[in-house]
Amino acid sequence: MKTIHGVKGFHDVVPPQSERCTEIEGRLRAVLAAYNYGEIRTPIAERTELFTRSLGDATDIVEKEMYTFDDRDGTSLTLRPEGTAAVVRAALEAGLAQRDQVAKLWYLGPMFRRERPQKGRLRQFHQVGAEVIGRDDPLVDAEVVTLLMDCLGACGLDGAELVLNSLGDAACRPAYRAALAAYGRSRSELLCANCRQRLDRNPLRLLDCKEPGCRRAMAEAPLAHAYLCAPCRAHFAEVERLLQAADVPYRVEPRLVRGLDYYVRTAFEVVAGNLGAQNAVGGGGRYDGLVADLGGPPLAGVGFAIGIERLLLATATADYRTPAPEVDVIPLSIEAAPAAGRLARRLRGLGVRCELEVAGRSVKSAMRRADKLAARFAVLIGDDELRAGRATVRDMRRQADHPLALVVDDDGPALAQALRELGAAGGTHE
Ligand code: HAM
């Protein structure tokens, strides 16, 4: 029969990569908990309007990358392309986003964008993100950026660069947009078809186009900083001062724009040198108008998201392997299988990573197998062991039978004691 393949851009995660994912996610959770953020889980599908209203009509995501379909009752639904809009919606519905209240939330889960798949760019990918709703203070921008860097640091990402910009706000951005559009129009014959279309609808994105012709055409384009109003300028200066005080290195990149339209003032990205074209490991910024745009009170917001797959690529270690079992339990005869099964289950119940072998191998082949698994200890149960009621524990590292013996049918204290000794010997368990 014909094999059924997975969908292009939608990847399986198999061991040992899945083990790395779990480990990285654990580290991220620990940092987010230390910063006192609460976890929020929102559904994968939302009403399409949530994204068209928040991300911007003239963004690549809304124009051509969303997975949108009609539900059976005709409601248009979309698989979430990002987390921020849904978190704001959910926070509003749960009463977490209110005046005089600050919501600090984080999330982790799959996002969907129908982009052209390549290294570091998938159609289903995973983000871990954090959002602070309800404070417009630069202190929060600095905390969010620091949190992002601490998350990346905890996962072992070194040498990535933080780039920072201010995009202005509703007061000063219209003049900047107009200046950029006018500049682009004066060189429109040099721009790609995509950028020409964007001239009026989304001129900020002209700065972001990777086409060499567009890069050349926009090389001398006006920069946001010259157009910032006094409050935006002061806000950005304070963010910079706080980041410097926190020893977070960054580079101001006046050409940094983001692929989503809800940003005002602070915008940032972290780029890793070893990722090729898709080099942004994470990004975010301030979105002070978004809560009101989604029908809530006029609350400020700021946050970031990290792409888990890109983080895994950027921190890839060539020799990552699934952790070896601590114990390989080996029944040397069919008769020994039930006792071996019970023993393995008790070990697993105590949190010991434990493999259980099929019954009836020769000692030699069982040892080869334990060796291959790189198990710390092999626990052998044959007829002799069954008679004596004690299993033989072989220390695989020292290639010697351990003086310790596990009690085959013990259901408690003796096993715990034996494990403690095993742990002391192997450095594995208390
Ligand atoms: P974003 O820059 O669109 O921001 O995505 C954040 C990160 O998700 C990127 O830096 C990248 O690592 C990863 N990513 C994006 N698209 C893909 C893809 N197709 N394949 C693999 N990884 C991808 C946001 O989504 C905003 N919601 C971030 C934010 C939170 N802003 C404020 N709060």
**What count of other Cβ atoms lies within 10 Å of the Cβ of residue 52?**
18
Q: What is the pLDDT of residue 323?
A: 77
Q: What is the pLDDT of residue 285?
A: 98
Percent of the chain with pLDDT over 90: 66
Does the Cβ of 284 fall within 6 Å of ligand 1? yes
Does the Cβ of 129 fall within 6 Å of ligand 1? yes
Q: CB–CB of 213/192 below 8 Å?
A: yes
Residue 34 belongs to some domain of the structure: yes
Output the six-digit token pair for 103: 């919501």
Q: CB–CB of 111/82 below 8 Å?
A: yes
Residue 365 belongs to some domain of the structure: yes
Rounded CA gap, 58 and 64, in Å?
Answer: 10
Does the Cβ of 303 fall within 6 Å of ligand 1? yes
Output the six-digit token pair for 4: 């059924």
Last residue in a domain, options 281, 314, 347: 314
Does the Cβ of 127 fall within 6 Å of ligand 1? yes
Mean pLDDT of 313-342: 85
Q: Helical H runs in 203-322?
A: 212-217, 230-245, 290-293, 308-314
Residue 321 to residues 19, 171, 389, Cα–Cα distance (Å): 8, 53, 35
Ligand 1 closest atom vs CA 123: 19
Name the band, by pLDDT with cuts 50, 70 and 90, for residue 235.
very high
Same domain assignment for residues 127 and 51:
yes
Same domain assignment for residues 282 and 410:
no
Å from CA of 307 to ligand 1 middle = 6
Closest by Cα among 104, 102, 70 to 87: 104
Nearest CA to ligand 1 atom 18: 121
Does the Cβ of 309 fall within 6 Å of ligand 1? yes
Residue 55, C-beta contacts closer than 8 angstroms, at least 6 positions apart: 61, 62, 81, 82, 85, 260, 261, 262
**What count of other Cβ atoms lies within 10 Å of the Cβ of residue 7?**
8
Edge-to-edge strands, sheet with 45-47: 45-47, 76-79, 67-70
Nearest CA to ligand 1 atom 11: 307
Does the Cβ of 131 fall within 6 Å of ligand 1? yes
Please report where in the chains the tokens 């010259």 appear, as a residue. 226
Nearest CA to ligand 1 atom 15: 307
Residue 118 belongs to some domain of the structure: yes
Residue 218 belongs to some domain of the structure: no
Q: What is the CATH number of the domain that holds 365?
A: 3.40.50.800
Same domain assignment for residues 54 and 88:
yes
Rounded CA gap, 36 and 53, in Å?
Answer: 30
Does the Cβ of 325 fall within 6 Å of ligand 1? no
Å from CA of 156 to ligand 1 middle = 20
Residue 256, C-beta contacts closer than 8 angstroms, at least 6 positions apart: 163, 164, 165, 267, 268, 269
Ligand 1 closest atom vs CA 115: 19
Rounded CA gap, 110 and 81, in Å?
Answer: 9
Mean pLDDT of 187-208: 89
Rounded CA gap, 169 and 173, in Å?
Answer: 5
Ligand 1 closest atom vs CA 287: 32
Does the Cβ of 78 fall within 6 Å of ligand 1? no
Last residue in a domain, options 275, 291, 314: 314
Nearest CA to ligand 1 atom 23: 307
Name the band, by pLDDT with cuts 50, 70 and 90, for residue 427.
very low
Choose which residue among 82, 106, 118, 312 to substitute to test ligand 1 binding: the one with the highest number of ligand atoms within 8 A of its C-beta: 82
Output the six-digit token pair for 267: 């915008």
Ligand 1 closest atom vs CA 304: 30
Does the Cβ of 83 fall within 6 Å of ligand 1? yes
Does the Cβ of 136 fall within 6 Å of ligand 1? no
Give the 3-state secondary structure of residue 304.
strand
Nearest CA to ligand 1 atom 31: 284
Mean pLDDT of 255-266: 93
Q: What is the CATH number of the domain that holds 24?
A: 3.30.930.10
Same domain assignment for residues 381 and 238:
no
Same domain assignment for residues 289 and 361:
no
Number of domains in the chain: 2
Domain span holding position 28: 17-172+228-314
Å from CA of 112 to ligand 1 middle = 10
Specify the range with the lowest mean pLDDT, choosing from 84-98, 233-247, 349-363: 349-363
Choose which residue among 108, 127, 143, 311 to substitute to test ligand 1 binding: the one with the highest number of ligand atoms within 8 A of its C-beta: 127
Same domain assignment for residues 350 and 264:
no
Same domain assignment for residues 267 and 310:
yes
Q: Helical H runs in 103-211?
A: 138-154, 173-186, 193-201
Please report where in the chains the tokens 């009836």 appear, as a residue. 360
CA angle 250–285–39, rounded 5-degree value: 110
Does the Cβ of 304 fall within 6 Å of ligand 1? yes
Please report where in the chains the tokens 């000692």 appear, as a residue. 363
Rounded CA gap, 377 and 353, in Å?
Answer: 11
User: Rounded to 10 degrees, what is the CA torsion of 407, 410, 413, 414?
Assistant: -20
Å from CA of 309 to ligand 1 middle = 11
Rounded CA gap, 289 and 87, in Å?
Answer: 15
Does the Cβ of 114 fall within 6 Å of ligand 1? no
Rounded CA gap, 87 and 33, in Å?
Answer: 18
Q: What is the pLDDT of residue 305?
A: 98
User: Over the stretch 140-157, which tens digit does the pLDDT of each residue have?
Assistant: 999 999 999 999 999 999
Question: With 50 as the cut, is the pLDDT of residue 429 above it?
Answer: no
Same domain assignment for residues 286 and 413:
no
Question: With 60 as the cut, is the pLDDT of residue 411 above it?
Answer: no
Residue 162 belongs to some domain of the structure: yes
Of residues 344 and 108, more confidently modeled = 108
Same domain assignment for residues 35 and 60:
yes
Sort 425 into a burial class: Cβ within 10 Å, 0-12 / 13-18 / 19+: middle
Residue 9 belongs to some domain of the structure: no
Q: What is the pLDDT of residue 273?
A: 85
Å from CA of 189 to ligand 1 middle = 31
Does the Cβ of 342 fall within 6 Å of ligand 1? no
Ligand 1 closest atom vs CA 81: 25
Does the Cβ of 288 fall within 6 Å of ligand 1? no
Same domain assignment for residues 47 and 117:
yes
Specify the range with the lowest mean pLDDT, choosing from 9-23, 138-152, 311-325: 311-325
Q: What is the pLDDT of residue 158?
A: 84
Does the Cβ of 286 fall within 6 Å of ligand 1? no
Last residue in a domain, options 259, 285, 314: 314
Residue 142 belongs to some domain of the structure: yes
Residue 330 to residues 201, 262, 362, Cα–Cα distance (Å): 68, 59, 10
Q: What is the pLDDT of residue 384?
A: 87
Same domain assignment for residues 152 and 88:
yes
Residue 117 belongs to some domain of the structure: yes
Same domain assignment for residues 147 and 274:
yes
Output the six-digit token pair for 335: 């008769």
